[in-house]
Amino acid sequence: MPDTGPHPWSSGGRADSGLMPFKRRLRGWLLACPGFQALCRMLTREHVRTLMYHRFSGDASPDGRSMHAARLREQVDWMRRHHDLWRPDDHLDLVLGRRRPGRCPVVVTVDDGYADFCSIAFPIFREHGIPVMLFVTTGFVDGTIWLWWDRLAWMLAHASPGRGTADIGGHEVAWDLRNDRGQTAAWHAIADRCRFVPDTQKEDSLRALGEALGVVLPTQVPPEYASVTWEQVRTMAAEGLQLGAHSVTHPILSRVSPDELTAEIVGSRRRLQEVVGIDTAWFCYPQGGPADFTPAVQESVREAGFRGCYVAWQIDRRPPDPYALPRYGASTDGLEFRWTLCGAAWLTLCLRRWLGVRTELGDWYWGGTR
């Protein structure tokens, strides 16, 4: 969901992964120990690693928000050597008891539908035989919207250098745009507030921000924020790409009216049927954190005819819920990627739960109460 890469609030969204130096050194040392990764894979043989990607680039992004092609090739090579490659349907069959566990299975998903998925990522996945599902924000591909976090990034990048404040959802957020670091910090500070503001209030806040910054958005989506085209989607689908629905306009579904909820869920599925001729059984909650969907939202997804749905973090419901299947953010950091793929991240999470240690990132992080 962010401007040039995965959700900054999802696992792996930041270049440094938020790790303290000691913890990072410890993980690096453990991963280098002979037999450690093999042991982790053995202990987590039945755990499904569903990966969540967003943006891709031809070169390394300095802020780590987009997965560059060379790193993606390294990751898919790692998957092929150490894991079974599953589709979401395989994951669902496991949850429903219709298939046996595999060899540390990996499922690959990509959200939103940016143009760089078609130009950079899909050829790499196809070349290496990696099954992948694209969760499409249909209004984005229709060209009727450009995503709010991209609008925010464009405004900050084109504003005059300086300092200021803005009211976002009843919270005053300060910015300092005198250098690139300040622009990045401003984007995170404002986006972290916008992500939990109802759409109408968020749009009002962004308009007010644009006026305060003295910028006017272009009527056409700039190329760096463009979506795939429907023609590209149809071509990729014919070449093996699986498609899932990701709403029409990417609102937070727990914060819309019942009529809007139905329109977003049913409308995205219907649009994929109309344009691509695919009746998808899969949905992905926009943003996908614990505060972003409710039992009522899950029921609406079920009533719309979907059979499975992914969230954006590791949830451990017993028995597993087909409408809240967990994912990992695919980190651009090689160490973090190996830590997740070998199963060490899952074992650490299980140990913390067994010890009664809090495992969530905090109420402010997922619930917007910072």
Six-digit token pair at 238?
């014919």
Q: Residue 284 and residue 256: Cα distance in Å, rounded?
A: 16
**3-class DSSP state for residue 57?**
strand
Low-confidence ranges of the chain (pLDDT < 70): 1-19, 60-64, 359-370
Distances (CA, A) of 331 to 104, 122, 160, 217: 18, 18, 32, 31
Residue that has been written with the tokens 């806040």 in this structure: 205
Distances (CA, A) of 86 to 108, 206, 217: 8, 40, 41
**3-class DSSP state for residue 218?**
coil
Quote the pLDDT of residue 59: 78
Quote the pLDDT of residue 5: 36
Quote the pLDDT of residue 200: 84
Quote the pLDDT of residue 2: 38
**Residue 217: Cβ within 10 Å count:** 15
Sign of the alpha-carbon torsion through 48, 94, 323, 111:
positive
The model's pLDDT over 187-233, given as tens digits with 9 standing for 90+, comes to: 989 998 888 888 888 889 999 999 999 999 998 899 999 999 999 99
Q: Residue 13 and residue 8: Cα distance in Å, rounded?
A: 4
Quote the pLDDT of residue 360: 56
Six-digit token pair at 257?
């009216």
The model's pLDDT over 92-125, given as tens digits with 9 standing for 90+, comes to: 999 999 998 888 999 999 999 999 999 999 999 9
Q: Residue 168 and residue 216: Cα distance in Å, rounded?
A: 19
Close Cβ partners of 129 (under 8 Å, ≥ 6 residues apart): 80, 85
